[in-house]
Structure 1
Amino acid sequence: MTTSIAKLARRPLATALLVALLAPGMALAGTAKEKELEARIAQLEQQVQALLSQQQQQQTQLTQTQTQVTEVQAVQAQRPAVPEGKQPIQSTTIMTAANPGTTFSYGGFIKLDAMVTDTSDGKIADGSAGRLFYLPSAIPVAGNDVDGGDPYTDVHAQFSRFWFSADHTTDAGDKVKAYIEADMYGGGNNSFAGNETSTNTYALTLRQAYVSWNNWLAGQTWSNFQDVAALPDAVDFVGPTDGVIFVRQAQLRYTSGPWSFSAENPQTTVTPYLSNSARFNTGDNVLPDLTARWLTKGDWGHFTVAGLVRQFKYENLATDQGDTETGVALSVSGKYNLGDSDDIRYAVNGGQGIGRYLAFGLGSDTVQAADGSLEALDGYGAYVAWRHAFNPKLRSNLMYATAMFDNDPLLTGFGVTERSQSWHANLIYSPFPKLDIGAELIWGERQLEDDRAGDLRRLHTHVKFSF
């Protein structure tokens, strides 16, 4: 019993001692935890403060952005409304030297021509124009006993072209236009750079360069005597060249409604007496070539009539020979739509001294008499072309053309061209707009006054991309 009492007496004492020993540690533990909590609270307060500051910055930026948007909307509201329809890509001028508000445009096409030619009476001279496109005057005519030889091939890209245009409307509503166009056909070249041995380099050639102001035009462009809108859809450079009026030259033109009038650069082509030398040009003219045209058009197509009055003049100071002659010519042409898929294009041309204007000068304007006087030669030409579209990607054209000249063999001799004619048939495939892949079969014939004739057979192909 004494032992039990002793054990009971010792338990409170042990408990007291244990409490006395643990109390300081518990106090110390409580103090450390409070410090840790205080540190965490301080850290959270810093984070909250940072978030509040960031939110204030974002709110400031949103307010500034909203202000800017409001200002832009106010400026846009003051601008005039954009009209309906297709709008120009260029809204301001890129031509620093031009009048304010002048717009600039650029275009053209890349064209590769490849052709195989077979001529009956000898070959067309290599490098000449007749090797590049159908040119009736280049068809060799020698006689039935001359062998034309094997067919020959030509490939070139000389008809690729580009143009620039600057258009301006004044505050008073006057419309002013400047236009220039060039290609690589007909330009000069040197014997190394321009030949087909190495580089096939060709010089830039001026096609058109003019300025127009309202109804007036001054500069070089298509003759007012030519109906460009009636030209057939050909793979060849021109197509039915025999019957086509084809001239670009310097001129002054006035247009009012359906009427247009022009004074154009004069030039006279002359066949010497009995063709004892080569045909030549003379610029002795005093008066310009004068033209007048009347045009009517509609959904059905167009119809036009043009007249030409010319002066022919030649002076030979060495022989004291010379003369002046006049000529008058007429052209009727147009295009008639036969529904959505077909159209007919045509032209009939004729008159005195029409030679320079018809078929790239197939005949002369004049012939010289023995005394040096000039006589205007009568010439006639015509063509008709039927165009048919099988579908939006495939189309075909069938063409016929002819030209003839009323030569006086007592003056011209028998070695001059009396007539020519040609047939053309093509297929043109456009896998997508502006890209044409075409092939054209051509048969042409040239006949002289002595009834000798030569013919040409050609397969002409091209790849053309317009831009």
Structure 2
Amino acid sequence: MTGINKFTRVLLLSGTMLVTVPALSANAQTVEDRLNKLESALDKILQKLDNQGSKLTEQETEIVNQAKRITKQEKMVSSAPAAAGGKQADGFMVGSTNIKIGGYVKLDTMVSHYSDGAPASGNLGRDFYIPSLTTVSPTGDGQTVTDFNPRETRLKISTSTPAGDSTVSTVLEMDFQVTSGGDERTTNGYSPRLRQALITYDNWTFGQGWSTFQDVSALAENLDFIGPAEGTVFVRQSMVRYKNGPLEIAIEQPETTVTSSAGARVLPGTDTIPDVIARYTMKSDWGHVALAGMLRSLSIDQGTLGVPDDDSALGYGVSLSGKLKVADKDDFRFMVTAGEGLGRYIGVNLVNGAAVNATGELETIGTISGFASYRHFWGEKSRSNITFSYFKADNPVAFTGTGVTDTSMSIHANYIYSPVPKLDVGIEYMYAERELENGLSGNMSRVQFSTKYAF
């Protein structure tokens, strides 16, 4: 048993070395080489013992198996995707899967003045800017309200698992916006909601995420949850997307929204053809520019809004967006979107995709919208953003009525200070206006204080 005991000590020493290898070197290739050599040495010892007719006890066999498991796990760690700068990827390993937990905690404090009366407590327009919720009334009186809101707080879990020559990645993201729960009287508790749930393998993406029609990288940096909402594409939904270099092609969840003659929103729910979207993004040292196009089939079934038979209409649109570097750190961001029947894709569904005409057919609603935003850094720890946003609809008023939105605009200006990395403290002023087809208009001005820490 003397030889076996020596062998056991060798295995224990090898296991200790395996555990400490990653700490000895930041070079993943060197770590893998050492692991391979240790594994080879173990195999040679086992082969020699076998040739000598020696057998391991149950305890010694378990030590061998444990050493092999450690070797395998450390190889996975050493081959995990590296982050920028050549550093090991963030997160932790569970088997062969790298798991990363991120997100942020944020508190918004808002003082808002509405020219035509404030929305009721708990209304989404009190939590963040939604253009369609800017109140418009011929008899409304001005009203000022104060709200505290932590609901933008977000949790994100990402995974990455080697799969042969490829990698399978997932994203699960939640926050507390637009959900039911407690009120402001007692607990202020809110239910979590699903934001993103994505699987990525090779060039394919499956699940729910930001629409391919939306350029997330071009979004303005505002303290408000969305910012220039009426001027931006803003949709998360289920999809199947293929990406090849700068080109992305996707089929995404269809959902028709129709305006009744009284200006009400109707969702027929009879869509059969997915929205088809393509986007091409050019990137360089100067930033990026993206061009996206979409085709969608709007549909309504027999009987809805008095339609005598099923009907459909073609919706389409294009969106040009980008983020351009200016000077050393400043940047300019923009988006311009136009089309027919875009509906819910623009301005958080500020207008619908279509209306029903006198013969029961769908008439698409045309829109044009956009925003421009400039970000300036005052120093290493502070920056400001100024943003202008605009929206215009071409409503067929003979079929929608005149109580629908014609135009909307907003202006945002902020100052953000970061005393330490990932901690932002800021103040933002926003002014917004909305005008209906009948000429009635209303406005809202808001001062927002925010504190956010990302992790």
TM-score grouping bracket, smaller chain normalisation: 0.7 to 0.9
Q: Which residue identity is paired with 1:148?
A: G
The reply to whether residue 156 of structure 1 matches residue 149 of structure 2 is yes
The reply to whether residue 142 of structure 1 matches residue 128 of structure 2 is no
Q: Deviations over 1:240-281 (max 9, x none)?
A: 111010000000000001100000000011101253xx2122
Residue 128 (structure 1) aligns with: 123
In structure 1, distance between residues paired with 2:361 and 2:14: 84
The reply to whether residue 417 of structure 1 matches residue 405 of structure 2 is yes
CA 1:146–1:340: 2 relative to 1, 3 Å: same
Q: CA deviation at 1:165?
A: 1.3
Candidates 289, 309, 319, aligned match of 2:295: 309
The reply to whether residue 107 of structure 1 matches residue 108 of structure 2 is no
In structure 2, distance between residues paired with 1:354 and 1:122: 30
- Asked if 1 retains the 8 angstrom alpha-carbon contact of 2:281 and 2:289, the reply is yes
- Asked if 1 retains the 8 angstrom alpha-carbon contact of 2:240 and 2:252, the reply is yes
Q: CA deviation at 1:125?
A: 2.4
In structure 2, distance between residues paired with 1:268 and 1:74: 58
Q: Deviations over 1:173-215 (max 9, x none)?
A: 11111111001112233xxxx1110001111100000111110
Q: Which residue identity is paired with 1:101?
A: S
- Asked if 1 retains the 8 angstrom alpha-carbon contact of 2:90 and 2:100, the reply is no
Residue 118 (structure 1) aligns with: 113
In structure 2, distance between residues paired with 1:298 and 1:107: 28
Q: CA deviation at 1:87?
A: 1.3
In structure 1, distance between residues paired with 2:90 and 2:372: 40
The reply to whether residue 286 of structure 1 matches residue 272 of structure 2 is yes
More moved, 73-82 vs 160-169:
73-82
Q: TM-score, normalization: structure 1?
A: 0.79
The reply to whether residue 250 of structure 1 matches residue 238 of structure 2 is yes
CA 1:407–1:67: 2 relative to 1, 3 Å: closer
Q: Deviations over 1:68-115 (max 9, x none)?
A: 879966995732696982113667x32xxxxx4111111000010110
Q: Which residue identity is paired with 1:224?
A: T
Q: TM-score, normalization: structure 2?
A: 0.81
Q: Which has the larger radius of gyration?
A: 1
CA 1:72–1:133: 2 relative to 1, 3 Å: closer
Q: Which residue identity is paired with 2:173?
A: E
Residue 32 (structure 1) aligns with: none
Candidates 174, 192, 203, aligned match of 1:215: 203
CA 1:317–1:414: 2 relative to 1, 3 Å: closer
- Asked if 1 retains the 8 angstrom alpha-carbon contact of 2:256 and 2:298, the reply is yes
Q: CA deviation at 1:372?
A: 2.5
The reply to whether residue 259 of structure 1 matches residue 260 of structure 2 is no
Residue 335 (structure 2) aligns with: 347
More moved, 123-132 vs 436-445:
123-132
Q: Is the partner of 2:378 in helix, strand or coil? A: strand
- Asked if 2 retains the 8 angstrom alpha-carbon contact of 1:341 and 1:390, the reply is no
Q: Is the partner of 2:301 in helix, strand or coil? A: strand
CA 1:208–1:70: 2 relative to 1, 3 Å: closer
Q: Is the partner of 1:391 in helix, strand or coil? A: coil
In structure 1, distance between residues paired with 2:13 and 2:134: 73
Q: CA deviation at 1:146?
A: 2.8
Q: Is the partner of 2:310 in helix, strand or coil? A: strand
Residue 179 (structure 2) aligns with: 187
Q: Deviations over 1:51-76 (max 9, x none)?
A: xxxxxxxxxxxxxx999879966995
Q: Deviations over 1:201-235 (max 9, x none)?
A: 11110000011111001100000000000001111
Residue 335 (structure 1) aligns with: 323
Candidates 267, 270, 285, aligned match of 1:299: 285
Q: Which residue identity is paired with 1:167?
A: S
5+ residue gaps in structure 1? 1-64, 95-99
In structure 2, distance between residues paired with 1:215 and 1:71: 38
Residue 29 (structure 1) aligns with: none
Q: Deviations over 1:261-317 (max 9, x none)?
A: 000000011101253xx2122221110010000001112100010001010001144
- Asked if 1 retains the 8 angstrom alpha-carbon contact of 2:91 and 2:101, the reply is no
Q: How many residues align?
A: 389
Q: CA deviation at 1:388?
A: 0.3
In structure 1, distance between residues paired with 2:382 and 2:15: 54
In structure 2, distance between residues paired with 1:384 and 1:392: 24
CA 1:70–1:351: 2 relative to 1, 3 Å: closer
Q: Is the partner of 2:171 in helix, strand or coil? A: strand
Residue 87 (structure 2) aligns with: 86
- Asked if 1 retains the 8 angstrom alpha-carbon contact of 2:395 and 2:406, the reply is yes
Q: Deviations over 1:425-462 (max 9, x none)?
A: 00001000100011110000000111111011100111
In structure 1, distance between residues paired with 2:231 and 2:185: 35
In structure 2, distance between residues paired with 1:345 and 1:460: 22
CA 1:74–1:445: 2 relative to 1, 3 Å: closer
- Asked if 2 retains the 8 angstrom alpha-carbon contact of 1:273 and 1:370, the reply is no
CA 1:90–1:408: 2 relative to 1, 3 Å: closer
In structure 2, distance between residues paired with 1:70 and 1:441: 62
CA 1:323–1:104: 2 relative to 1, 3 Å: same
- Asked if 2 retains the 8 angstrom alpha-carbon contact of 1:323 and 1:373, the reply is yes
- Asked if 2 retains the 8 angstrom alpha-carbon contact of 1:224 and 1:293, the reply is yes
In structure 2, distance between residues paired with 1:368 and 1:359: 22
Q: CA deviation at 1:135?
A: 1.1
Q: Which residue identity is paired with 1:332?
A: L
Candidates 343, 350, 359, aligned match of 2:347: 359
Q: Which residue identity is paired with 1:437?
A: V
- Asked if 1 retains the 8 angstrom alpha-carbon contact of 2:18 and 2:35, the reply is no
CA 1:66–1:103: 2 relative to 1, 3 Å: closer
The reply to whether residue 237 of structure 1 matches residue 225 of structure 2 is yes
The reply to whether residue 176 of structure 1 matches residue 200 of structure 2 is no
Residue 43 (structure 2) aligns with: none
In structure 2, distance between residues paired with 1:317 and 1:272: 13
Residue 359 (structure 2) aligns with: 371
CA 1:119–1:214: 2 relative to 1, 3 Å: same
CA 1:239–1:89: 2 relative to 1, 3 Å: closer
Same amino acid, percent of matched pairs = 37
